[in-house]
């Protein structure tokens, strides 16, 4: 259901009294707060609100189109997407914060002005609003799925036995069950933390989600009410017959809406996807550019030329943000993989924040060289917990005894939902500045076609030789290797515009440009019989458009 309309005057008055995201000190915003923040950004003449689609539960998915200068002609565009996962609801505020910062800095900052005057930016802060809104519901639980429930226990009933808050603390946590064959044991230095079994522990545990055996099949919380994850529902690497992937690719309205948005905006040349996966932390060497395509579920490695460009972008990202990146992660069926593998777009998957994971070595200088110590060290999970608690984050619920009706004596607790995926408020301003710097820097990378020379010389008898030089003013090639193989973006086109009665005697009706490296140029020639003026039209869906008139040169 759509919200009740209010007058523009009333809305502006309300927005002027609300603190900005940075003043609130948090990127984490529910639907209402995010909608008001979006409306605040659209007060700028630079920003226009666009409809993307609706979620399964009827929530609107919206985009911001930002452009300065003369924005009527097609020009390179960058798409920035956040809020694809419930655990990453906070990065919706980061994405919207980037848009707001650019509108605020446009008048004073030359780099921002150059970017927006030459580039279109599309921001989709919350691509999966149902999952993100679940972050604010009670009981608190991480709920990655938003699609219709399946029948994971194969009992012909859907979603009848999911996790639930059985101890009444408004959190759906974990239950650790004493089990001689359990796969978990307590960390020796922090017993709250469970780690995979090593050696012969005195106590083993089995971990199950908090809940009951509601359907009486002897299993606890094994059939959740929802099971399809939006960012597993895209065609590239789609996992068939897997509950989290859905019945078929783009079965979810959110994934279909994102695909439709990309298809409807051929000006998009680059995509930034903020989430839990990362392709900038480590870029593989890649395979030869002419290697044959192999269809397989793991992502195909990039071509060497494309990989070299991604490594350059990754180095700059790390320098400007100070972020070493997160784990690459499984990208089967993700939006980022679809943009790259099926659409041939330059796609950067960015995990903008993760807990530092450098193992402390307090006693590294206390032992003679070459002598090893048998003293136990904190596990990775315990290090993360200690790091968060040192910054005032309540990251663990503890373990409390509970008499479970079917499992007997158990303990309920464990990591607090979302604690390890959301940055502490004190770190958020720095995150925004680094991401803003990186985004602004990308403007000089985008392929941009321009007519560098358009001339003709008279050959006699009314014949004219026309020469046109087209250059790529960006650092990126007009098409990467992957883009040339997918052939989903139309080549650039150069066409002469002859006066009435003019005749083209040699040269094609229009020239196609399918390859042009960054900084390179290409010369085109025609022989025509016509009287000046001779026009030239350059068109590209994703690298700009230009029109000019040829000038006469000496023989």
CA distances from 385 to 185, 223, 224 (A): 17, 30, 28
Q: Give the residue, 321 or 15, on which the prediction is more confident.
A: 321
Predicted confidence at residue 290, as pLDDT, reads 78
Q: Give the residue, 11 or 554, on which the prediction is more confident.
A: 554
When pLDDT is cut at 50, 70 and 90, the band that residue 375 belongs to is: low
Q: Give the residue, 326 or 464, on which the prediction is more confident.
A: 464
Q: Tell me what the mean pLDDT of segment 252-261 comes to.
A: 98
Predicted confidence at residue 14, as pLDDT, reads 40
DSSP one-letter string for 154-184: -SS-SS-B----SSSSSB--EEEEE-TT-SE
In the sheet with 449-460, reading across from the earlier edge strand, the strands are: 503-506, 521-529, 463-472, 449-460, 551-552
Q: Tell me what the mean pLDDT of segment 475-480 comes to.
A: 96
Predicted confidence at residue 295, as pLDDT, reads 56
Q: How far apart are CA 182 and CA 314, in angstroms?
A: 41
CA distances from 490 to 20, 177, 473, 548 (A): 41, 58, 19, 22
Q: How far apart are CA 39 and CA 53, in angstroms?
A: 17
Predicted confidence at residue 363, as pLDDT, reads 37
Predicted confidence at residue 298, as pLDDT, reads 63
- Tell me the pLDDT tens digit for each residue of 442-451: 999 999 999 9
Q: Check whether 313 has a pLDDT greater than 80.
A: yes
Q: Give the residue, 296 or 189, on which the prediction is more confident.
A: 189
Q: Tell me what the mean pLDDT of segment 544-549 comes to.
A: 95
When pLDDT is cut at 50, 70 and 90, the band that residue 245 belongs to is: very high
- Tell me the pLDDT tens digit for each residue of 299-311: 677 888 999 999 9
The set of residues, in sequence order, having a beta carbon less than 8 Å from that of 102 and lying 6+ positions away, is 46, 66, 112, 115, 116, 121, 436, 439, 440
CA distances from 453 to 123, 458, 512, 521 (A): 35, 17, 17, 10
Q: Check whether 369 has a pLDDT greater than 60.
A: no
Lowest mean pLDDT among 59-73, 156-170, 184-198, 232-246: 156-170
- Tell me the pLDDT tens digit for each residue of 355-367: 987 654 333 333 4
Predicted confidence at residue 18, as pLDDT, reads 39
CA distances from 26 to 67, 297, 451, 518 (A): 27, 38, 46, 39
Q: Check whether 155 has a pLDDT greater than 70.
A: no
When pLDDT is cut at 50, 70 and 90, the band that residue 465 belongs to is: very high
Q: Tell me what the mean pLDDT of segment 245-250 comes to.
A: 94
C-alpha 400, offset from chain centre: 38
Predicted confidence at residue 372, as pLDDT, reads 52
pTM higher than 0.85 for the full model? yes
Mean pLDDT in the chain?
88
- Tell me the pLDDT tens digit for each residue of 4-61: 444 444 444 443 433 343 433 479 999 999 999 999 999 999 999 999 999 999 999 9
Q: Check whether 205 has a pLDDT greater than 80.
A: yes
Q: Tell me what the mean pLDDT of segment 419-426 comes to.
A: 89
Residue whose token pair is 């099949």: 217
Averaging pLDDT over each range in 63-67, 216-220, 242-246, 288-292, which range is the top one? 63-67
Q: How far apart are CA 416 and CA 439, in angstroms?
A: 33
When pLDDT is cut at 50, 70 and 90, the band that residue 246 belongs to is: very high
Q: Tell me what the mean pLDDT of segment 407-419 comes to.
A: 96
Predicted confidence at residue 2, as pLDDT, reads 37
Tell me if 482 sits within 8 A of 346, measured CB to CB: no
Q: Check whether 3 has a pLDDT greater than 60.
A: no
Where helices occur in 363-512 by DSSP H, the ranges are 380-390, 428-441, 481-486
Domains of the chain and any CATH numbers: 22-135+229-355+423-444 (3.40.630.10), 149-225+393-419 (no CATH), 449-552 (2.60.40.10)
When pLDDT is cut at 50, 70 and 90, the band that residue 121 belongs to is: very high
Lowest mean pLDDT among 11-25, 364-378, 386-400: 11-25
Predicted confidence at residue 535, as pLDDT, reads 97
- Using a pLDDT cut of 70, give the percent of the chain over it: 88
Q: Check whether 190 has a pLDDT greater than 80.
A: yes
Q: Check whether 258 has a pLDDT greater than 60.
A: yes
């Amino acid at each position: 259901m759509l919200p009740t309309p209010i007058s523009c005057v009333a809305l502006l008055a309300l927005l002027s009294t609300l603190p900005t995201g940075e003043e609130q000190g948090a990127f984490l915003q529910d639907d209402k707060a995010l909608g008001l923040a979006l409306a605040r950004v659209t007060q700028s003449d630079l920003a226009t609100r666009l409809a993307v689609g609706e979620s399964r539960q009827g929530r609107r998915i919206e985009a911001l189109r930002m452009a300065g200068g003369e924005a009527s002609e097609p020009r390179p565009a960058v798409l920035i997407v956040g809020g694809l996962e419930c655990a990453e609801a906070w990065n919706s505020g980061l994405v919207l914060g980037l848009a707001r910062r650019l509108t605020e800095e446009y008048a004073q900052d030359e780099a921002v002005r150059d970017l927006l005057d030459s580039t279109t930016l599309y921001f989709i802060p919350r691509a999966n609003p149902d999952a993100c809104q679940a972050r604010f519901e009670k009981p608190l639980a991480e709920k990655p799925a938003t699609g219709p429930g399946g029948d994971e226990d194969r009992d012909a009933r859907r979603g009848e036995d999911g996790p639930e808050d059985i101890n009444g603390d408004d959190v759906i946590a974990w239950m650790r069950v004493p089990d001689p064959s359990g796969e978990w044991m307590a960390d020796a230095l922090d017993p709250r933390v469970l780690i995979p079994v090593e050696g012969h522990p005195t106590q083993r545990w089995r971990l199950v989600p908090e809940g009951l055996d509601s359907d009486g099949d002897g299993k606890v919380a094994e059939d959740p009410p929802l099971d399809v994850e939006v960012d597993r529902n895209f065609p590239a690497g789609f996992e068939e017959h897997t509950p989290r992937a859905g019945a078929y690719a783009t079965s979810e309205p959110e994934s279909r809406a994102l695909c439709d948005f990309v298809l409807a905006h051929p000006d998009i040349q680059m995509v930034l996807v903020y989430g839990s996966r990362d392709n900038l932390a480590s870029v593989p060497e890649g395979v030869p550019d002419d290697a044959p395509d192999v269809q397989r579920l793991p992502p195909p490695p990039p071509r060497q030329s494309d990989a070299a460009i991604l490594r350059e972008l990754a180095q700059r990202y790390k320098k400007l943000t100070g972020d070493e990146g997160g784990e690459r992660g499984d990208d089967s069926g993700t939006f980022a993989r679809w943009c790259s593998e099926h659409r041939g777009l330059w796609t950067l998957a960015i995990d903008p924040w993760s807990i530092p994971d450098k193992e402390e070595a307090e006693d590294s200088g206390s032992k003679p060289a070459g002598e090893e110590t048998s003293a136990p060290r904190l596990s990775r999970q315990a290090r993360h917990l200690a790091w968060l608690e040192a910054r005032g984050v309540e990251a663990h619920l503890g373990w409390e005894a509970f008499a479970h009706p079917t499992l007997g004596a158990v303990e309920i607790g464990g990591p607090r939902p979302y604690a390890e995926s959301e940055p502490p408020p004190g770190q958020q301003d720095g995150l925004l500045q680094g991401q803003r710097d990186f985004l602004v820097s990308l403007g000089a990378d985008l392929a941009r076609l321009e007519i560098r020379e358009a001339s003709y010389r008279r050959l006699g008898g009314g014949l004219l030789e026309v020469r046109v030089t087209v250059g790529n003013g960006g650092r990126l090639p007009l098409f990467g290797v992957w883009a040339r193989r997918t052939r989903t973006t139309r080549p650039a086109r150069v066409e002469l515009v002859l006066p009435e009665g003019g005749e083209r005697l040699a040269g094609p009706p229009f020239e196609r440009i399918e390859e042009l490296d960054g900084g390179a140029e290409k010369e085109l020639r025609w022989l025509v019989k016509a009287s000046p003026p001779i026009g030239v039209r350059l068109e590209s869906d994703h690298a700009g458009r230009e029109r000019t008139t040829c000038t006469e040169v000496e023989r």
